[in-house]
Structure 1
Amino acid sequence: MPRRQSGAGVTPRILVAGGTGFLGRAFVRGLARRNAQIVVLTRNPGKAAGLGLPAEYIRGDVTRPGTLSPAMRGVDTAILCVQFPGYPVEAPTRGRTFMEVDARGTAALVQAALEAGVRKLVYVSGVGADPHAGRKWYRAKGLAEASVRESGLAYAIVRPSWVYGPEDRSLNRFVSLVKGVPFFFPQLGGGTGRLTPLHIDDLADLVCEITLGSSGDGFTLEAGGPDVMTLDEVVRTAMRVLDRPKPILHIPIGLVKLGAAVLELLPGQLLSRAAVDFVTQDGVADSRRARNGFSGFRPRALEPGLEAYLPRG
């Protein structure tokens, strides 16, 4: 099928695969502010409509490749940011794994894009992605990146660091512990994992600019906040913003994994030993290429980012 050409005066039709998730919702809102026509790929359009996003909802499931090509028809550019429910705790019996969704799911989306004549792909990966990595989440993201690069389509790949914001489930879990646990903060491990926390709105601005323009085409761009911080420093920053200082109690990783091993046996995606490694690992982004290539990408530091939405006390 011939590839679609976009031009001046044409409202681009953008598909966001993963548009109901934390990252995807921010991309949809950012694109809407830029007057794009947006389609959200979702397994359950009826349920997704309750989110009130400024988008059309269309049914598709990355674990069922046959559903994807029809969803891609008429699409100029596709943003690929799908995650499985319960991420990062896998549920292999339900097909909720990094390899099934991130790697094979992205490959299926790429194939569907080719069949439908999509012009460009924007893949939201992660810092550390490598198809030869030992850890499966890095390996799955690396394989997904390879699918995008080898597609023959115009593409851009964005590798964010740890992303936070009002609707996230990672840093806000820390916030809940700061508020809810008296006397101390329970930190998994030594709190030495190094991160470059990135506000969701800063990531969304970058992804939208890459999606609607061509400056990022052919590039892999890491994206993180301006400061390298340890997990303990992230927690102390949240305490300062909330005005709730308290000591940090470090719980040995071995003890945490022992508990995780028990939780793996219970119904639901509560916790796993692999997920413990995931949430305590380093995630440092080198954002120089993104800052140099996109003058509007000037990510805020963590403290003012938190102050924008966390009430004190």
Structure 2
Amino acid sequence: MKILVTGGTGFVGTAIVKELISRGHQVWAGSREGKQGGAGQAIKLDVTNPASVLSAVAQADPDAVVHLVGIIAEKGAQTFQAVHVDGTRHVLAAVPRGARYVHMSALGADVNSKSGYSASKGSAEALVKASGLRYTIFQPSLVFGVGDDFFGRVLRELVSTAPIVPQIGDGTFPFRPVSVQDVAQAFAGAAESETGAGETYALTGPQEYTFRQLLEMELSALGKKKPIVAVPIVLMNLAVPMMNLLPNPPITKDQYAMLKAGNTAPNEPAKTVFDLPMLKLPEHLPEIVAAAKG
């Protein structure tokens, strides 16, 4: 099959492109710059530009499109509305009507969410479901693997920066991280077949952890011993907006809202439908933080 992957040079995109190629598919890896960032044939594709999307689709002439492009924080013209909602609209309009379409959403996607990120993901899902395409939507939890942003940067900086480790509230918010290998296998399975057509799947790992447990695991993987100190929610509610006045805040308002909401769901039926290996976070976290330090 000929498969076009938007965001094909990012952390998740690179893993999915490699998985598709390993299955014998011809893959185009789209990015705004059109630069070779990994496996697959590089192609210029800016989802915020309808003409760029149409050009990439015409060049690839795909049997399937995997749409991954997303941002964690807004910057300039790269807003959640422009990238997640309008970008998805542009891609949906360009996808050949007979092609398979696989969409990257996020666990917690909800148009009514207090998080701008999650709300925009919910709006994008609505567009997909109304598109008339043979779609499958995946909603991953925190995705872990070498090069990930959360365990390799956000959580690592949180436990490394100060003499103590700040814990948001009572630290009981639940999470169920999923490996990038599991995510890649699920997306590839959906793109190459009719499996899951018309369905929405949560993508989560084999075990649930509290936020405090994640902090303890990150400290252990880094070989650090520090006290974990609970910071009352009321204080965090005041501190986070002030942090966001910094050029590169340690945590954005949207990330904070998502942390408080937790990020978990059962790993079925995706685990069975796509025969996922269910890799475990503790076995891979030391490698993730070691690579991030390097």
What TM-score do you get using the length of structure 1 for normalisation? 0.83
Kindly indicate whether the alpha-carbon contact (under 8 Å) linking 1:160 and 1:285 is maintained by their aligned counterparts in 2: no
1:305 and 2:287 matched: no
Which residue of 1 is the match for residue 215 of structure 2? 235
For residue 215 of structure 2, what is the amino acid of its counterpart?
V
Contact persistence 1:257–1:272 (CA under 8 A) = no
* 2:80 counterpart residue number: 98
* Structural mapping, 1:42-191, within 5 Å: 42-45=31-34, 48-49=35-36, 51=37, 53-73=38-58, 74-84=61-71, 87=72, 89-91=73-75, 94-114=76-96, 117=97, 119-173=99-153, 174-178=155-159, 180-181=160-161, 183-191=163-171
> Mapping of 1:206-245 within 5 angstroms?
206-245=186-225
Counterpart contact for 1:122–1:155, Cα < 8 Å = yes
Where structure 2 has 5 or more consecutive residues not aligned to the other structure, the ranges are none
Are the equivalent residues in 1 in contact too, given 2:152–2:289 (CA < 8 A)? Answer: no
Amino acid paired to 1:99: Q
Q: CA 1:261–1:123 in 2, change beyond 3 Å: closer, same or farther?
A: same
Contact 2:240 2:252 in 1 (8 A): yes
Show structure 1 runs of 5+ residues with no match: 1-11
* Pairing 1:247–2:227 present: yes
Count of aligned pairs between the two proteins: 289
Q: Which one is further off, 182-191 or 139-148?
A: 182-191
What secondary structure is seen at the aligned counterpart in 2 of 1:288?
coil
Contact 1:41/1:59 (CA < 8 Å) preserved in 2?
A: yes
What is the rounded CA distance, in whole Å, between the counterparts of 1:303 and 1:271 in structure 2?
24
Q: Secondary structure at the match of 2:47?
A: coil
Q: TM-score, normalised by structure 2?
A: 0.88
The offset of 1:273, in angstroms, is 2.8
Instruction: Decide whether the 8 Å contact of 1:90 with 1:269 is kept in 2.
Output: no
- Pick from 23, 28, 31: which aligns with 2:12? 23
- Tell me whether 26-35 or 249-258 shows the greater mean CA deviation: 249-258
SS in 2 for 1:106: helix
**Deviation at residue 271 of structure 1 after TM alignment:** 4.7
SS at match of 1:240: helix
Letter of the structure 2 residue corresponding to residue 297 of structure 1: L
Contact 1:237 1:302 in 2 (8 A): no
When the two chains are superposed, the root-mean-square deviation of aligned CA atoms in Å is: 2.5
Select between 220-229 and 261-270 the one with higher mean Cα deviation: 261-270
Which residue number corresponds to residue 174 of structure 2? 194
